[in-house]
Structure 1
Amino acid sequence: MKQFTDQIGITHTFNSSPKRIVSLVPSQTELLYDLGLENSIVGITKFCVHPYHFKSTKKIVGGTKNVHYDKIRLLEPDIVICNKEENTQEMVDELRKICPVWVTNIATLDDNCQMITDFGRIFDKRTEARKWNDKLTFALSDFKNFIKEIPVRRVAYFIWKNPYMVAGSGTFIDELLKLNRFQNHFATKERYPEIELNKIEEVGDLDLILLSSEPFPFKAEDGYEIAKATHNAQAILVDGEMFSWHGSRLLKALDYFKYLHSSI
């Protein structure tokens, strides 16, 4: 019998390593795959697009905010993987009637490392988890050497339209903005505040407007309206997966960030 405590402080007891996993977080589905747990994953969301073949080999149980509890129950999972930001408290409470629900909470790079370590311990993939953390540590060190010569730029990171919403503090996006020497225009706001374009200039001038590809799929034309409200700051489309997905995706994100800086 083993006990583990998740990232919201809930302690779970397992008689053996969970063998049947339902993952309701796209980035964590990818991580579980990268840890060698493909055969243990029995259920995913419709947004779990990596790896690509999972959409035809795994049972789709709904989205990240709404799931089909009966479908999950029929899969007889040993554990459901959720995330504090991606999934709702109501979902977690209902899912706990089926099996243990492990909830992650990722706002920093250290949180990300801890999640990988936790998964390694829970699923008897300690060696694989250590390898991933080692790769990420090395890649982060390399990126920090790269980025130290890049000037600080003042940015706003848009995630939604109608109403406009941006990334604020306490988010993994904000953590990666800091890593990139992007000074978040809305770092004084919590989480994902709604904003009015005609008031955005009150905080000061922007160098860049970052328009995310998810959850709202911004297009180039969306940047024109925002740019006009920000003294024509440069608006660029960015890959939302690279800025918001935690887990093993961070390794690809660091290469993407180098490309992004070279193209600005």
Structure 2
Amino acid sequence: MAIERRPFQGVLNILSFNRHFYVIGLLVLAGIIAAGFIFHVNHLYLLIIVIAFIYGLFAPLIVSAYVYDFSGYYTFNWLHKLALNPKANHIVNINAGFDETSFILEDHFPDAKIRVFDFYNASQHTEPAIVRARKVSLTYPDTQVIESGNIPVSDQSADLVFLLSAAHEIRSNQEKVVFLKECRRICKPGGKVIMVEHLRDFPNFIAFTIGFTHFFSAPTWRKAFTQAGFSKIDETKFTPFMSVFTITP
């Protein structure tokens, strides 16, 4: 089932899911400008503050448009560079309550059995953006809601396990390690876990300013993979703002 994406769907999703942030931000910006004129703040200083504020609001949208709407992320052609098993017959795709990838995976692996799991926990994953995203997400048939520490799949049965822009929603390092141990448990000896994430690094700081703290650094992820028992960790860049980790049990 091919899902046709609308023009600028990625950036429109960001705006929709984070509208509280932008409404508050624009109100604060208006307040700063008003206060600057009321208290006769030096116009150069005021201009610098306003430009910095506008940058913080709109740079994430520009980068999101690039990554999600113009880079080819949702065509999944970047998968071809990973030398994955073309005959994979058991694929697991795990999301955090917002799934835009399972139907695309189905198109790329038409002969595979795809099982989809959602580890969203309303008591732990409370960000308004996730709550709104879940309301509009198109649910893949037979998607199961699970605990992050318990993936109901047999040991060493999955050829590929996909974690696409989802794993960072697990904020606790202990929970991350337990989750990754589960991913390793279900993965065949010759299988792979494919994780795509923004990182807490300089390019994402330039893109998202303080918002880059929502992501984790590459050393943090590598440490978690190692603690989970993975033997090989490869990282490639998909745009300067996203990393593709290919992890082998």
- Whether TM exceeds 0.5 here: the answer is no
1 or 2, which has the higher helix percentage? 2
Range class of TM-score, shorter chain = 0.3 to 0.5
TM-score by length of 2: 0.32
TM-score by length of 1: 0.31
